[in-house]
């Protein structure tokens, strides 16, 4: 039997075998959710020409030093248009936000500080402006030639927009990770019919497919595979040929029908781990060769809560590392366990599912979701954080506990 190892050793082993995928070129608009694989240098200035930050009147600042003052309006320029008219001192040109600043102008008076006269042919300026006010100069946002983004930058919607703004139409990103998910077990059904004796409704696949997507990967549903070694072997080889990683649920413990263990032991280079944690003690990880590729395989336990926790602790960071994230782990904070988190000494770290929220003191406070059994997914399903309770008798009420944050509103 495998020796019991620490979670840190298990995680190191997994991360050591899950390198970032190769780069691909992708339109910046499709790259949201990926990680840049190459630096991006700005090929253009943003903005590309001096323009107005407001709707108002382009002026020579010196002409409006004493207010109120009335000026002739000698032209108009809208966004997307331009004017050849060179503004002279003592004149105004009506200008819209984003329109190019006319030559000669050095400031813009916002429309709120003006009054239209004579049907728009004149304007009364009621507030003076310094030179440069409401003028966006060339490169004020991005200077051509500057390093905009380092490799490893996560492409958020705003990052993608900046890439579009400098015409970085195609970008090099780490290829999105395609992950195959399958469940194993003769007791599992998902056809919606009445349950026969011994059957249960399959649920881990729904959860794991969602967790894979939440991790930013593409999830591929391979369905339920019966506890049949030949069938499972075919499915696994096929998955390794097509996808970047495989997540299985069930069949990795010590039972007689743990076929995942039987098959993967034969066809893949696996490590069958017993991790000193609760839940999710059994965990399998290895690589399945397909041609010259080594495809990571995550063998998660079948108990639903164990499946959820081991995906969070081990599969998720590994998949995110494959996707190129330089910091693939969830953030951890020191949280206050308002009611305490009691446990018994058993040589394991307990990953207790908790509800976390910011308190009026600005700190994160956690409370147990209630039932902590590895089959009690209903309680765990409401968790938005995982408290890492070290071996011992737990955390006293008001005590501090290191907590993995999943989503804290
Ligand atoms: P196993 O790891 O295959 O020994 O399964 C452990 C427990 O988890 C058993 O009670 C299984 O019925 C249950 N289980 C396994 N796979 C699933 C699944 N995909 N959905 C729901 N429960 C499962
Ligand atoms: Mg099973």
Cα of 32 vs centre of ligand 2, distance in Å, is: 38
Closest atom of ligand 1 to CA, residue 187: 12
What does the pLDDT read at residue 78?
96
Cα of 79 vs centre of ligand 2, distance in Å, is: 65
Do 390 and 349 form a contact (C-beta atoms < 8 A)? yes
Residues 117-127 have pLDDT tens digits of: 999 999 999 99
CB atoms within 10 A of CB 279: 25
Q: Answer yes or no: is the C-beta of 244 below 6 A from any ligand 1 atom.
A: no
C-alpha 234, offset from chain centre: 33
Grade residue 1 by pLDDT with cuts at 50, 70 and 90: low
Residue 386 has pLDDT above 90, yes or no: yes
Which of 303, 308, 376 for a ligand 1 pocket mutation test, highest count of atoms within 8 Å of Cβ? Answer: 303
Angstrom distance (rounded) from CA 313 to CA 380: 15
Q: Whose CA is nearest to atom 14 of ligand 1?
A: 302
Q: What is the DSSP letter of 217?
A: -
Residues 32-57 have pLDDT tens digits of: 999 999 999 999 999 999 999 999 99
Phi, psi of 263 (to 5 degrees): -75, -50
Q: Which residues contact 134 (CB under 8 A, 6 or more apart)?
A: 52, 53, 54, 56, 107, 108, 109, 110
Residues 164-181 have pLDDT tens digits of: 999 999 999 999 999 999
Please give the structure tokens belonging to residue 80: 């997307």
Angstrom distance (rounded) from CA 177 to CA 218: 6
Angstrom distance (rounded) from CA 110 to CA 94: 10
What does the pLDDT read at residue 115?
98
Angstrom distance (rounded) from CA 403 to CA 374: 19
Instruction: Find the mean pLDDT for residues 87-99.
Output: 98
Q: Whose CA is nearest to atom 16 of ligand 1?
A: 302
Which of 182, 183, 185 for a ligand 1 pocket mutation test, highest count of atoms within 8 Å of Cβ? Answer: 185
What does the pLDDT read at residue 190?
96
Q: Residue 208: enclosing H or E segment and its boundaries?
A: helix 204-214
Q: Which residues contact 358 (CB under 8 A, 6 or more apart)?
A: 364, 365, 408
Angstrom distance (rounded) from CA 385 to CA 334: 12
Angstrom distance (rounded) from CA 95 to CA 404: 52
Q: Which residue has the tokens 């003052």?
A: 69
Give the 3-state secondary structure of residue 308: helix
Burial of 408 (0-12, 13-18, 19+ CB in 10 A): middle
Residue 354 has pLDDT above 70, yes or no: yes
Do 75 and 102 form a contact (C-beta atoms < 8 A)? yes
Q: Answer yes or no: is the C-beta of 227 below 6 A from any ligand 1 atom.
A: no
Angstrom distance (rounded) from CA 330 to CA 403: 10
Q: Answer yes or no: is the C-beta of 373 below 6 A from any ligand 1 atom.
A: no
Do 324 and 174 form a contact (C-beta atoms < 8 A)? yes
Instruction: Find the mean pLDDT for residues 247-265.
Output: 89
Q: Answer yes or no: is the C-beta of 200 below 6 A from any ligand 1 atom.
A: yes
Do 97 and 72 form a contact (C-beta atoms < 8 A)? no
Given phi > 0 = left and psi -120 to 50 = alpha, else beta, which region is 224? beta
Residue 375 has pLDDT above 70, yes or no: yes
Q: Answer yes or no: is the C-beta of 249 below 6 A from any ligand 1 atom.
A: yes
Angstrom distance (rounded) from CA 181 to CA 178: 10
Instruction: Find the mean pLDDT for residues 93-116.
Output: 98
Angstrom distance (rounded) from CA 174 to CA 33: 10
Cα of 252 vs centre of ligand 2, distance in Å, is: 8
Grade residue 409 by pLDDT with cuts at 50, 70 and 90: confident
Cα of 185 vs centre of ligand 2, distance in Å, is: 4
Residues 10-35 have pLDDT tens digits of: 999 999 999 999 999 999 999 999 99
- Predicted TM-score (pTM) above 0.75: yes
- Name residues with Cβ closer than 5 Å to ligand 2, which is an ion: 185, 250-251, 302
Closest atom of ligand 1 to CA, residue 255: 4
Cα 267 to Cα 253, 257, 286, 302: the distances in Å are 18, 17, 10, 21
Angstrom distance (rounded) from CA 301 to CA 86: 75
Cα of 310 vs centre of ligand 2, distance in Å, is: 16
Residue from 174, 225, 171 nearest 23 by CA: 174
Helix 259-267 to helix 229-242 angle (10° resolution) is 50
What does the pLDDT read at residue 258?
87
Grade residue 3 by pLDDT with cuts at 50, 70 and 90: confident
What does the pLDDT read at residue 257?
81
């Amino acid at each position: 039997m495998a020796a019991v190892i620490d979670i840190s050793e298990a995680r190191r082993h997994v991360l050591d075998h899950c390198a970032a995928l190769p780069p691909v070129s992708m339109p910046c608009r499709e790259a949201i959710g990926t990680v840049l694989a190459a630096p991006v240098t700005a090929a253009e200035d943003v903005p590309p020409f001096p323009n107005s930050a407001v709707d108002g009147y382009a002026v020579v600042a010196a002409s409006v030093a004493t207010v109120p003052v009335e000026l002739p309006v000698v032209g108009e320029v809208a966004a997307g248009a331009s004017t050849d008219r060179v503004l002279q001192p003592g004149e105004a040109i009506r200008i819209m936000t984003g329109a190019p600043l006319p030559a000669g102008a050095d400031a813009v008076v916002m429309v709120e500080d003006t009054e239209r006269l004579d049907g728009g042919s004149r304007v009364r300026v009621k507030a003076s402006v310094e030179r440069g006010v409401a003028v966006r100069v060339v490169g004020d946002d991005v200077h051509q030639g500057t390093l905009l983004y380092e490799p490893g930058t996560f492409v958020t919607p705003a990052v993608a927009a900046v890439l579009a703004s400098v015409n970085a139409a195609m970008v090099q990103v780490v290829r999105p990770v395609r992950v195959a998910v399958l469940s194993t077990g003769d007791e599992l059904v998902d056809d919606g019919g009445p349950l026969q004796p011994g059957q249960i409704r399959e649920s881990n696949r729904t959860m794991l497919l969602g967790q894979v997507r939440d991790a930013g990967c593409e999830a591929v549903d391979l369905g339920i595979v019966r506890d049949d070694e030949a069938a499972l072997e075919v499915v696994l080889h096929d998955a390794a040929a097509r996808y970047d990683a495989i997540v299985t649920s069930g069949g990795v413990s010590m039972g007689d029908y743990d076929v995942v263990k039987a098959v993967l032991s034969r066809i893949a280079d696996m490590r069958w781990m017993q991790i000193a944690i609760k839940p999710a003690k059994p965990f399998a990880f290895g690589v399945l060769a397909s041609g010259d590729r080594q495809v990571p395989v995550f063998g998660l336990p079948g108990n639903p809560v164990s499946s959820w926790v081991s995906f969070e602790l081990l599969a998720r960071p590994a998949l995110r590392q494959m996707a190129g994230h330089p910091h693939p782990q969830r953030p951890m904070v020191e949280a206050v366990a308002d009611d305490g988190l009691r446990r018994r000494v058993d040589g394991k770290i307990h990953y207790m599912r908790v509800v976390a929220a910011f308190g009026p003191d600005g700190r994160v406070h956690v409370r147990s979701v209630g039932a902590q059994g590895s089959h009690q997914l209903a309680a765990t399903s409401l968790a938005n954080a995982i408290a890492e309770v070290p071996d011992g008798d737990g955390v006293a009420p008001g005590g501090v506990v290191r907590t993995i944050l999943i989503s804290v509103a």
